[in-house]
Structure 1
Amino acid sequence: MTKVSLITDYDVYLFKEGSHTKLYRKLGAHLVEGGVYFAVWAPNAREVSVIGDFNGWDPHKHPMRRREDPSGIWETFVPNLPKGTRYKYFLVDAWGNPKEKSDPFAFFWEPPPSTACLVWDLDYHWNDQVWMATRRSKNSREAPISIYELHVGSWKKGLSYRDLAHELSQYVTEIGFTHVELMPVMEHPFYGSWGYQITGYFAPTSRYGTPQDFMYLIDLLHQKGIGVILDWVPSHFPTDPHGLAFFDGTCLYEYEDWRLRWHPDWNSHVFDYSKGEVRSFLLSSAHFWLDLYHVDGLRVDAVASMLYLDYSRSEWKPNVYGGRENLEAIEFLKKLNTTVYAQFPDVQTYAEESTAWPMVSRPVYLGGLGFGFKWNMGWMNDTLFYFSLDPIYRKYHHGILTFNTWYAFSENFVLPLSHDEVVHGKGSLLQKMWGDVWQKFAHLRLLLAYMYAFPGKKLLFMGNEIAQWEEWNHESSLRWDLLEYPSHRGIKKLVEDLNRLYREEKALHQLDCEAEGFEWVDFHDWEQSVISFLRKSKEGEVILCVFNFTPVVRYRYRVGAPAGGTWREILNTDSEIYWGSNVGNMGKVEAQPVVFHSRPYSLELTLPPLGAIFLKKAF
């Protein structure tokens, strides 16, 4: 008999309407006075009970009672259960078949391949009050946001959350990134999915410790002034029998029509966004990490697969208007962003969206999807293609470098050099670069400088900052031993300096998302594969960025300048400290009163081979 219930009639209303954002306080297993309250959504089950260590996994000892309302929720109270008790739900499903299911709302799971859940609390004493009070300014569009993306299990193998907290916070502070983005840490049965096949949407994976250990990781990063973004996957879920799939014998969390339900890319099921209960489940998962784990942002995976009904499908079901858009998923994404920014106005949401869908990062009230930022996949694909070309042929593809600016301010963009670009036989960033060994390193330095100069926030996947030769392998640690070599140390040093400049120079970050922050100096020199542009701040500060995409030194190369006087060379990717050939301008150049590029002054520069230089007016 249920002695206690955490669920009110209003909870049921919000749950079914699809607007409940705090279900993690209602469903699942909750330690209350005298025992544990259990609640699970299984509207089509014939019987439900709680099984676990405490009753010998006997489904007859602790049956659950179906609520006398239309919620479809079953609940019970079990006295005298301690924290750490293992449990599952036993169901007789809609067809009379017995099955065991893990708790969709569990806070903590057994380490895979075991699938039981653990009764747990989320009590933790946070020490990140300074960060939480000031993080709005750190997450804003005008802030320098440079993101270090990593996979917890393979950054350094064998680290717990607490070990990682100390080593990662020290490393990220040293190298200068403002945020880390963790590939999905939510509980997942298959390690090789990298966390993108989630079964526990309210639990950090127990592979590396407890929920409190994961909180400690976030807490320490915050104390060091580093923001934390989590990958989150509302687009699909795995078909493991203990998980969400056919939970009560019916298509409960997933679409019933196989043309909507099955995702061929990942052999997984697609959430049924038409159901209010499913929308509430996903909204609550997103809010859970922002609320109880103090997370600073969510990167929403595979948004394009949610928007289009025909995404990767040869057979698909059109919407009610005959179109290819998933209208229900669109409304869910709008609801997600609206509720997140209403309740957590100092965080950001990031869309991994790879199509030309308009206004992804524009407010819902203006017709957008409401995300804070969108990954600029077009810039990434074009840029990596260009860098793979033999420089002899680059002049015929010069438009790749100029085309991106036509849409650079149509969204609030993040420039991603992510994990997706260094797996599945694609090779590491270093391998993608054209040329011999020295040229590959020079190209990588040039690529990194180009990313930090181009409008948009920055994202770099782990291992790229040390120029790892091998593509990423989740089964092994990064090749930290490479830092014994000056070529690899040079790349790391460059990333440190680029992060420092990006943070310190407002011209490089303040107007990342505004056309006023960018101005071409010259994009016409296709013959020599050279471009130059200005980055500008609101206060009128200017950084002149010049790029030579060929292995030829350009002597006495004239570039127009907006002002006279001395211009300091604040970055040269060919410097010997980066393992370059040390070709440059001796640290400064005097502007001459020679009209060039329609500007009253100009600089006569030495452009290093496969190099980038940043110049700033000295005052």
Structure 2
Amino acid sequence: MPKDGTGLTVLDPWLDPFKDALRERYNFFNQWRERINTSVGGYENFTKGYEYYGFNVSKDGTITYREWAPNAVTASLVGDFNNWDVNTHPMKKNQYGVFEIVLPPKAGKPVVPHGSKVKISMTLPGTNERIYRLPAWIRYVTQDLNVSATYDAVFWNPEKTYTFKHQRPKKPESLRIYEAHVGISSSEPRVGTYKEFTANIIPRIAYLGYNAIQLMAIMEHAYYASFGYQVTSFFAPSSRYGTPEDLKELVDTAHSYGLTVLLDVVHSHACKNVLDGLNMFDGSDHCYFHEGQKGRHELWDSRLFNYGNYEVLRFLMSNLRYWMDVYQFDGFRFDGVTSMLYKHHGIGYGFSGNYHEYFGDLVDEEGVMYSQLANDFLHEKYPTVITIAEDVSGMPGSCRPVREGGLGFDYRLAMAIPDTWIKLLKESSDDAWCMGHIAHILTNRRHLEKTIAYCESHDQALVGDKTLAFWMMDKEMYTNMSDLTELTPVIDRGMSLHKLIRLVTHGLGGEGYLNFEGNEFGHPEWLDFPRDGNGSSFHYARRQWNVLDDKLLRYKYLNEWDKAMQETEEKYGWLHSPQAYVSRKNEGDKVLVFERANVLFIFNFHPTNSYSDYRVGTGQAGKYKIVLNSDDKKFLGHGRVDPNGEFFTTEGNWDNRDHWLQVYIPNRTVLVLAKSD
């Protein structure tokens, strides 16, 4: 494999014309890595910025506070502890634009008490204007809506901190992610807490058989309805849900269940708030961000980081290490990677897959470099780390190692899959579904680059759209989801297709699988955060676990199906096996057949037709048994298939397979077969 960043061309010869661009990209990464190595001794010191900047307390109680604010002329630390007096605690500025103050303890105690509200006050050049800002590296911020809508920085230095008791779990071979939002995890119309999530939700996730949790909206954000994507304080876990120690307990408890915990990290942009964000931090337009229009995202109405700035890189890379070391997260889902990689940020741009789109003037080489640096550091420091890119562009090499010229992510999200399911449900009748198209969308991914497949995103749960369950069953979910009522055609169809869509995506769509909280049991109603347009109501900003726990309601059947999917995958491991071989895409029968991990998947999507003695091909000879059957009555099926049936192969070519067997496959049913001998 070449060592100049052109290794991608060995895997994909179509990249050969772009060797020079790949080489330049890799050289740019190496220049920055070398700068980090020579300036501070490499990643190890560079990524410990949170031990240098912000508030740090020594064992004897001495507080050192530092802040990078090159545009400011003077700075003072102010807060409850000094009655907000700008004259009592001035800071000194060095040649690099870093202000510092050292506060020895008094009477054996820190000068700034734990829980004190603090700010940095600065004066600006020319006008001598005085400004007040929340410290950029602050570790806890709180909001008192009775006083102000903005957040207050809080000096977090408790006498007793949480002690982690459990080791990180082994890195999953097959990644099965449960995406969750702590705040909406209560059935009650209010903001849920870390402690409630720890006690009530983690056991549910473990019961279902997922092996990873992806936590959304943890980094503090000013606007709750932003879903956590307008971050104001990057080192502060959201105080809406509890304290930093509560979050540590949550992660540690998840580890005790063998669950990997991923953080939804937002380094693609930042909230434009000034009083409680990073915007205009030192009075300039360009402290952490690009100045002018280059530093603004038109669609998100937010600020864009300057990845080509040394201190900004230290801030962001230290942020990654902070969440890994201090909170023991196991990896990250990077939000908005498309925006980071391209100067157009993906706004109004439809990617066609032409390789010229991934090189040249359209690409933000500094954003590419940051992605490479972040992944290179994380995988060097933490061998078991998991990184996932949310990127719609499909940039070649996104999920290949940096040494090959890739970006270094482990996975990317297969974002076309949920769009396809919604489009089919909106625009096509069941008998018009194209098996070839479904198979193509689910298998259309770059060779040797891993993807996370999912049926529906958290965005599709928001008001204005519908979940898959809601698209299929709609108003009947309010009247016909009880076992005491007749199984109507609408509910029967919705429940059946919900199971098929989830398993075909699970089995065929990627090397990992993701589910958004509540969708596994067909959550009724949409998700709508409190806002001006709904009277600040929490009615829809919650997960209705009560409908799942009510044994008379039919949601339990979908929940048990989801559990069965995860457990069957755990046994056979198709997600970490090579991509499936699709042997049948019969448009008339609406039958889709594929093999993966020596497991045979047989889907009948036809709305009415069932088939007796239906012949399917297989590459493995022998006796087969049913290991998963969506028509089983425990999943609200009709019980038309004998669960104890045995299937014997016959030698002979069928659908380009060396053997075949025959099955009874009812309409809207999937059978999963595995060898029993």
TM-score under structure 1 length normalisation: 0.89
Task: Give the match for residue 511 of structure 2.
Answer: 456
From 83, 86, 89, the equivalent of 2:117 is 86
1:106 and 2:161 correspond: no
**Do residues 227 (structure 1) and 267 (structure 2) align?**
no
Q: Does 1:155 align with 2:185?
A: yes
Contact 2:237–2:244 (Cα < 8 Å) also in 1: yes
Alignment partners' CA distance in 2, 1:332 and 1:125: 32
CA contact (8 A) 1:386 1:400 kept: no
Aligned pairs for 1:198-277 (under 5 A) are 198-242=231-275, 243-277=277-311
Cα distance change, pair 563–273 in 1 and its aligned pair in 2 (3 A): closer
Aligned partner of residue 664 in structure 2, secondary structure: strand
1:53 to 76, 80, 83: 80
Q: CA deviation at 1:180?
A: 0.7
Decide which of 503, 509, 533 is 2:575's aligned counterpart. 509
CA deviations 1:102-121 (Å, max 9, x no partner) are: 01111111235452222224
SS in structure 1 at match of 2:663: strand
Provide, for residues 444-488 of structure 1, a one-character-per-residue CA deviation record: whole Å limited to 9, x for no partner: 111111122124201000110121121223433212232224421
Paired residue secondary structure (1:181) = strand
In structure 2, the partner of 1:573 is 630
Q: CA deviation at 1:330?
A: 0.6
Alpha carbons of 1:487 and 1:285: their partners in 2 closer, same or farther (altered >3 Å)?
Answer: same
Alignment of 1:284-299 (within 5 A): 284-299=318-333
Q: Which moved more, 1:329-338 or 1:54-63?
A: 54-63
C-alpha separation in 1, matches of 2:73 and 2:546: 58
Report deviation, 1:182. Answer: 0.5
Q: Structure 1 counterpart of 2:657, which letter?
A: R
Q: Does 2:635 match 1:604? A: no
Q: How does 1:341-380 map to 2 (within 5 A)?
A: 341-380=379-418
2:591 partner letter: V
1:89-131 alpha-carbon deviations (Å, 9 max, x no partner): 11113453221100111111123545222222484311013xx
Distance 1:586 1:500, change over 3 A: closer
- Give the deviation of 1:385 after TM superposition: 2.8
Q: Is the 8 Å Cα contact of residues 285 and 292 (structure 2) preserved in structure 1? A: no
Equivalent of 2:155, from 119, 123, 133? 119
Please list every run of 5 or more consecutive structure 1 residues that lacks an aligned counterpart in the other structure.
1-9, 537-541
CA shift for structure 1 position 158: 4.6
- Give the equivalent residue in structure 2 for 1:189: 222
Give me the CA root mean square deviation. 2.5
1:426 and 2:465 are equivalent in the alignment = yes
Q: Per-residue displacement from partner, 1:52-94 (whole Å, max 9, x unpaired)?
A: 1011112122111112x32433434364222222211111134
User: Per the alignment, do residues 299 and 592 of structure 1 end up closer, same or farther by CA in structure 2, a change over 3 Å counting?
Assistant: closer
Residue 24 of structure 1 pairs with residue 24 of structure 2: no
Alpha carbons 1:465, 1:492 under 8 Å: kept: yes
- 1:582 correspondence with 2:582: no
String of CA shifts for 1:519-570, please: whole Å, max 9, x gaps: 22223x122221101112xxxxx11001112212222211013344431111
Whole-angstrom distance in 2 between the partners of 1:408 and 1:565: 33
Distance 1:570 1:314, change over 3 A: closer
Tell me the equivalent position of 1:338: 376
Match of 1:558 in 2: 615
SS at match of 1:473: coil
Q: Does 1:544 align with 2:597?
A: no
Q: When the two structures are aligned, how many residues end up with a matched partner? A: 585
Cα–Cα, structure 1 residues 436 and 449, in superposed 2: closer, same or farther, change >3 Å?
same
One-letter amino acid of the structure 2 residue matched with residue 99 of structure 1? I
Q: Is 1:564–1:590's contact at 8 Å kept on the other side of the alignment?
A: no
Structure 1 residue 587: Cα displacement: 3.2
| Aligned position for 2:521 | 466
Distance verdict in 2 for CA 1:245–1:12, change over 3 Å: farther
**Identity fraction in percent:** 26
Shift in Å at residue 373 of structure 1? 0.9
How far apart, in 2, do the equivalents of 1:178 and 1:550 lie?
Answer: 33
Q: Is 1:438 matched with 2:527?
A: no
Q: Check 1:59–1:505 CA distance in 2 against 1; reply closer, same or farther (3 A cut).
A: same
TM-score relative to the length of structure 2: 0.82
Contact 2:372 2:402 in 1 (8 A): yes
Q: Secondary structure at the match of 1:493?
A: helix
Counterpart position of 1:614: 672
2:15 match? none
Which residue in the other structure is 2:99 paired with? 73
Deviation (angstroms), 1:41: 0.8
Secondary structure, aligned partner of 1:615: strand
CA gap of 1:322–1:357, structure 2 versus 1, over 3 A, is closer
**Helix, strand or coil for the counterpart of 1:199?**
strand
- Distance in 1 of aligned mates of 2:497 and 2:279: 47
One-letter identity of the residue aligned with 2:668: L
Equivalent AA in structure 1 for residue 546 of structure 2: D
Give the superposition deviation at 1:187.
1.3
How much does 1:503 deviate?
A: 1.1
Deviation string 1:330-357 (CA, Å, 9 cap, x unpaired) is: 1011000001111111111110111121
Residue-by-residue CA offset, 1:263-282 (whole Å, 9 max, x unaligned) = 12211000111111111100
2:315 counterpart SS class: helix
User: 1:572 offset after TM fit, Å?
Assistant: 1.0
The reply on whether 1:494 has 2:561 as its aligned counterpart is: yes
Shift of 1:222: 0.4
Indicate the residue corresponding to 2:544 in structure 1.
479
Contact 1:383/1:401 (<8 A) preserved: no
**Given the superposition, is the C-alpha separation of residues 479 and 15 from structure 1 closer, same or farther in structure 2, using an over 3 Å criterion?**
farther
Question: SS in structure 2 opposite 1:544?
Answer: strand
Distance in 2 of aligned mates of 1:313 and 1:519: 36
Residues 17 and 346 of structure 1: CA distance in aligned 2, closer, same or farther (over 3 Å) = closer
Counterpart amino acid of 2:664?
T
Residues 567 and 117 (structure 1), Cα distance of their counterparts in 2 relative to 1, 3 Å cut: same
Give the distance between the partners of 1:101 and 1:18, measured in 2 at CA. Answer: 29
Match of 1:169 among 202, 206, 211: 202
Query: Counterpart amino acid of 1:503?
Result: E
- Deviation for aligned residue 1:261: 1.0
Structure 2 unmatched ranges of 5 or more: 1-35, 106-110, 350-356, 474-488, 530-537
Report the CA distance shift for 1:442/1:164 in structure 2 as closer, same or farther (over 3 A): same
> d(CA) in 2 for partners of 1:219 and 1:237?
28
Distance 1:342 1:179 in 2: 21
**Which residue is equivalent to 1:4?**
none
Q: Is the Cα–Cα contact under 8 Å of residues 296 and 303 in structure 2 kept in the other structure?
A: yes
Aligned-partner SS, 2:650: coil
CA deviations on 1:185-240 (whole Å, 9 max, x unpaired) are 01111111121111111111111221111100101110111110110000111111
